[in-house]
Amino acid sequence: MIDRLGTCPCCGASWNGGDILDQIKKLDVFTHTAPSDIVKVARSMGWSEENKTSFTKLVVYEVDGIVVLECHNDRCKHVFTADGVDMGSMTEYREAKKLA
């Protein structure tokens, strides 16, 4: 399985988007929200005091029925399967499909 909080094997960018609670606190939309309610929002995203999870920067979507994860780095944009198989860049993938 791919480590969604790891680093990209192609460009070395970190995919760790930071602690979910910390990141939510920074959002303008929650400026006037009670701290206890912000914790509830974080909990709804799988975060807890015991298991402080982080956001991933990987972009997740589906191509040809396969769930893929794309590196957020604009200079990389490599796409991986959930098992960590490098499918190359989405541009290369689409070009290869056209030629097939």
Q: Interface with Zn ion by CB under 5 A: which residues? A: 8, 10-11, 13, 71, 73, 76
Q: How far apart are CA 45 and CA 51, in angstroms?
A: 12
In the complex, minimum distance from the CB of residue 4 to Zn ion, in angstroms, rounded to a whole number:
13
**Cα-trace Rg, the chain:** 17
In the complex, minimum distance from the CB of residue 13 to Zn ion, in angstroms, rounded to a whole number:
5
CB atoms within 10 A of CB 50: 5
Nearer Cβ to Zn ion, position 5 or 39? 5
In the complex, minimum distance from the CB of residue 82 to Zn ion, in angstroms, rounded to a whole number:
16
Q: How far apart are CA 28 and CA 66, in angstroms?
A: 35
Nearer Cβ to Zn ion, position 37 or 92? 92
Cross-strand pairs, 61: 68
